[in-house]
Amino acid sequence: MGRRKQSSIFEDLYGIAAALPWWIGVTAAILAYVVLHRYAEAEVPVNAAPGQMGQMVVSQMVKALATYGQYIVPLILLAGALASWLGRRKRQDLVRDVAAVRSGDALRQMTWRDFERLVGEVFRMRGYGVVETGGSGADGGIDLRLRKGGELALVQCKQWRAYKVPVTVVRELYGVMAAQGAAQGYVVTSGQFTPDARAFASGRNIELIDGEALIALVKRVRAAAPVDLNARQSAPASSPASATQPQARPAGAPACPRCGAAMIERIAKQGANAGNPFWGCTTFPKCRGVRGL
């Protein structure tokens, strides 16, 4: 087995910036320039006493590195931030495209990488922090690591066009969950699961999401996202009465059973249904009407 090629510090900086939200990369680039520019402009004595020669050499090396680094490091961070922004746009486009179709053809025609991006974006839109691992390394083939409420969840993505996911995949995930202390596991596929796989997942903290269920989930999170944005931008402070008016209900969203206003998808944060989605009234906390999904 060949050795894995070690990445350089510049590749690591780019990878970190690309994995973080784009605005963090931009902020880091600005801070890096400010700090490195300060060292690049610092005065270094040319002559030094014999006992201070070592310190002078180190100061000159730091100044030289900072002189070049004040431009190189911010450029790398900005390139990573651009990749992060483009990647997020790509994920949002995938969600939009899948939400617009009625069959599973869009899922089956995706590359495995786009399928993983789609699943990750769906979980982001449900309030999870998502780290895409790509299913490589010593993580048991895990593609996504999710965090919400301090709990870890693991996701395996199976973009198989002609096969049903067997029970072995679910068993492997269950073992990795136990080894890593994960509270929840998900197996997401563009196809279906065998009856044995569903039987094994039953009664365990493993949710199996097949192609049909994934499309339905994409449509729900896609329908809920614009409502959240409208809820923040509506009801200006100068017109408090407008905040009490019911909002327009998006297609597929039910009316509140208590006040008749529009409802949006929310995630339960506590209780027996913690982590599960439900319909909540957009006028909350004035109205606490809910519906099950």
* Per-residue model confidence (pLDDT) at position 141: 76
* Per-residue model confidence (pLDDT) at position 277: 75
Three state DSSP letters for the chain = CCCCCCCCHHHHHHHHHHHCCHHHHHHHHHHHHHHHHHHHCCCCCCCCCHHHHHHHHHHHHHHHHHHHHHHHHHHHHHHHHHHHHHHHHHHHHHHHHHHCCCCCHHHHCCCHHHHHHHHHHHHHHCCCEEEECCCCCCCCCCCEEEEECCEEEEEEEECCCCCEECHHHHHHHHHHHHHHCCCEEEEEECCEECHHHHHHHCCCCEEEECHHHHHHHHHHHHHHHHHHHHHHHCCCCCCHHHHHCCCCCCCCCCECCCCCCEEEEEECCCCCCCCCEEEEECCCCCCCCEEEC
* Per-residue model confidence (pLDDT) at position 183: 92
Of 139, 146, 89, whose CA–CA distance to 123 is shortest? 146
Q: Is 183 exposed, middle or buried (CB count within 10 Å of its CB: 0-12, 13-18, 19+)?
A: middle
Cis previous bond, 285, omega within 30: yes
Answer positive or negative: Cα dihedral of 45, 48, 51, 56. positive
* Per-residue model confidence (pLDDT) at position 139: 47
* Per-residue model confidence (pLDDT) at position 208: 94
Q: What global pTM score does this model have?
A: 0.59
Question: In sequence order, what are the beta bridge partners of 263?
Answer: 281
Instruction: Give CA angle at 80 (134, 113), nearest 5°.
Output: 25
Three state DSSP letters for 46-83 = CCCCHHHHHHHHHHHHHHHHHHHHHHHHHHHHHHHHHH
Report, as ranges of residue numbers, the positions in the chain whose pLDDT lies below 70: 1-7, 45-54, 102-105, 134-140, 160-162, 225-253, 268-276, 285
- Sheet of strand 151-158, all strands in order from the earlier edge strand to the far edge: 129-132, 144-148, 151-158, 184-189, 206-209
